[in-house]
Structure 1
Amino acid sequence: MLSVVDGIFIFVVISESVLGVLGNGFIGLVNCIDCAQHKFSTIGFILTGLAISRICLIWLLITDGFMHIFSPDIYFSGNLVECISYFWLIINQSSIWFATSLSIFYFLKIANFSNTIFLWLKSRINRIPTFLMGCILISWLLSFPQTAKMFNDHKMKNATVGDFNVSRSEYIIKQVLLNLGVIFSFMLSLITCVLLIISLWRHNRQMQLNLTGFRDANTEAHVKAMKVLISFIILFILYFVGVFIEISFFSVPGNKLLLMFGITTSVFYPWGHSFILILGNSKLKQASLRALQQLKRCEKRKSLRAT
């Protein structure tokens, strides 16, 4: 029998998951249609990869969380937890590196600095997908051997996979070393977002001074862009907080409420940011408005047929 807390948790997580799959599925569909129409672009490639990786991430998060909470015996039996860990490495790192590449792309595309390094990077903006693939491969090469070593060490000690006979601090240190590539991409994404916010703020301030305090359309666009970036940073930090809470659960077993909170927090990022992207991207926003108009027309036709 489920408790009230379990029921609320299931409802919230399922709602977040449905919204996340719909939002990211819409982003992926729009960009795939553009690609089929020979409108391939760097930003389209990044958004498609980000949407697909986030859909997989959402399913993995809720599957892992539900099995961990409601079927721990099955979760820790055999090699299931090991397989989930490898899938987690692939999907989580892909999602984070696509998000990092998106922030780098917008930074180079929108920001305005006179720095020589920035101008050199800006001239090579179309090489971001190559940079992305290289970083993902390096991150996998660093993470997979460490993960395999961690599981082999536990097997050699004749311990169950779920029984981590290490202190909490030692376990967290191992996880930090395991996710160095993820931490680097997270810091890189934060740095580019902060620099872009600074550039937009400086430009917005200059435009306000030139217009004697009045705002025009460009000023409003810059303010909107800053709000989108700040929202992204907040959601990105929340995601890492949620993942850290889930990782901490292994060193504090039995605290099911802690794991529930971690899953709810981490799933909030992939669905929340997808809707921020839709509202902040003119092409995606127009496509969503057309889709809503089509749905309204279908509803009107159904109502007329019913009458």
Structure 2
Amino acid sequence: MLNAAEGILLCVVTSEAVLGVLGDTFIALFNCMDYAKNKKLSKTGFILIGLTISRIGVIWIIILQGYIQLFVPHMLISGNITEYITYIWVFLNHLSVWFATNLNILYFLQIAKFSNSVFLWLKRRIGAVFIFLSGCLLASWLLCFPQMTKILHDSKMNQGNTSWVHQRIHDFLINQSLTNLGILFFIIVSLITCFLLIIFLWRHIRQMHSVVSGVRDLNTGAQVKALKFLISFLMLFILHFIGLSIEVLYFILPQNKLLFITGLTATCLYPCGHSIILILGNKQLKQASLKALQHLRCWETTGNLRVT
């Protein structure tokens, strides 16, 4: 049974997951409808569709594994459910981070303006950058899946072996580090592009303020808004992986359910918060979401009138 603090946090996690799935589903449907209407899919639209679909899968895996771990942990010990969850998680999580990295790079190359020769070369060859990152994704999967197979096999072989328990923490942490080497590359690239874009926007905003001499400029306001969204994304992105690290610690301290649910809460903040950031940061998505909310209110009002 869960205590009051654990129950409240679990409700928060579930709410985050529901909001994340709804937000990502809305973004995916909007871009699919835009493609059906215009018969043309932009790079941004393709990345957003792939990101939201993969992230919906990630959210479901996080919640499923969390509920099983909390209420029926014996299911993870017996049978092959651990293998299925692990392999699906590795595939979807790598894919989600890959799409997020592509989106960050695309925004960085489209918005930022640097005179650096490397930046100008990358800006002219966006397609080549995506091909390179696709190769990195395949390499990451090729490195990760054999390592995960080894971890699951060793766990089965040593299950119930008391002498192995004293050594498993060290081995577990090493194996987890090796498994996440591939995804670490995408995380570093995402963080670097976010930091560079934040630096560019910050410098540009200061220049605009000095030129305009205190008069508020519409373009400056939009860039300030973009800067806030970027910083929010960066914080959520870092919190997501802190949450995953906390969940890993739970396997070292398996009796601490509060620690595990805290990790789940931090982990689910990113997929929920990032979808909201994407909707609010995109004018078309924001307008479409407002229209959808208005339709829902109209249906609710009509339903209440019928009842009365």
The TM-score, its normalising length taken from structure 2, stands at 0.93
- Code of the residue aligned with 2:126 in structure 1: it is I
User: Is the 8 Å Cα contact of residues 70 and 257 (structure 2) preserved in structure 1?
Assistant: yes
Structure 1 residues 139-178: aligned runs within 5 Å? 139-157=140-158, 159=160, 166-178=167-179
Distance 1:227 1:29, change over 3 A: same
Counterpart in 1 of 2:271? Answer: 270
- Code of the residue aligned with 2:36 in structure 1: it is A
Deviation at 1:78, TM superposition (A): 1.7
Counterpart in 2 of 1:257? Answer: 258
Structure 1 residues 61-72: aligned runs within 5 Å? 61-72=62-73
- Give the Cα–Cα distance (whole angstroms) in 1 for the partners of residues 205 and 159 of structure 2: 62
Counterpart in 2 of 1:117? Answer: 118
1:166-194 Cα distance to aligned partner (Å, 9 max, x none): 34343222211110111111111000000
- Code of the residue aligned with 2:141 in structure 1: it is W
User: Is the 8 Å Cα contact of residues 122 and 129 (structure 2) preserved in structure 1?
Assistant: no
- Give the Cα–Cα distance (whole angstroms) in 2 for the partners of residues 217 and 126 of structure 1: 32
2:206 aligned counterpart, secondary structure: helix
1:180-226 Cα distance to aligned partner (Å, 9 max, x none): 11111111100000000111111111111111122211100111111
Counterpart in 2 of 1:14? Answer: 14
- Give the Cα–Cα distance (whole angstroms) in 2 for the partners of residues 233 and 227 of structure 1: 10
Moved more, 270-279 or 280-289: 280-289
Deviation at 1:151, TM superposition (A): 2.1
User: Is the 8 Å Cα contact of residues 47 and 102 (structure 2) preserved in structure 1?
Assistant: yes
Counterpart in 2 of 1:211? Answer: 212
Deviation at 1:74, TM superposition (A): 1.3
Aligned length: 305
User: Is the 8 Å Cα contact of residues 204 and 223 (structure 1) preserved in structure 2?
Assistant: yes
Distance 1:80 1:178, change over 3 A: same
Counterpart in 2 of 1:26? Answer: 26
Deviation at 1:164, TM superposition (A): 5.7
Moved more, 215-224 or 151-160: 151-160
Deviation at 1:72, TM superposition (A): 1.0
1:67-114 Cα distance to aligned partner (Å, 9 max, x none): 011111112112211221111101111111111111111100100101
- Give the Cα–Cα distance (whole angstroms) in 1 for the partners of residues 303 and 251 of structure 2: 52
- Give the Cα–Cα distance (whole angstroms) in 2 for the partners of residues 16 and 230 of structure 1: 20
Counterpart in 2 of 1:101? Answer: 102
1:139 aligned counterpart, secondary structure: helix
- Code of the residue aligned with 1:146 in structure 2: it is Q
Taking only the aligned residue pairs, the percentage that are identical comes to 53
Q: Which runs of 5+ in 1 are unaligned?
A: none
1:224-266 Cα distance to aligned partner (Å, 9 max, x none): 1110110011000100000001111112222111111111110
- Give the Cα–Cα distance (whole angstroms) in 2 for the partners of residues 73 and 208 of structure 1: 61
Moved more, 212-221 or 237-246: 212-221
- Give the Cα–Cα distance (whole angstroms) in 1 for the partners of residues 263 and 306 of structure 2: 47
Counterpart in 1 of 2:46? Answer: 45
The TM-score, its normalising length taken from structure 1, stands at 0.93
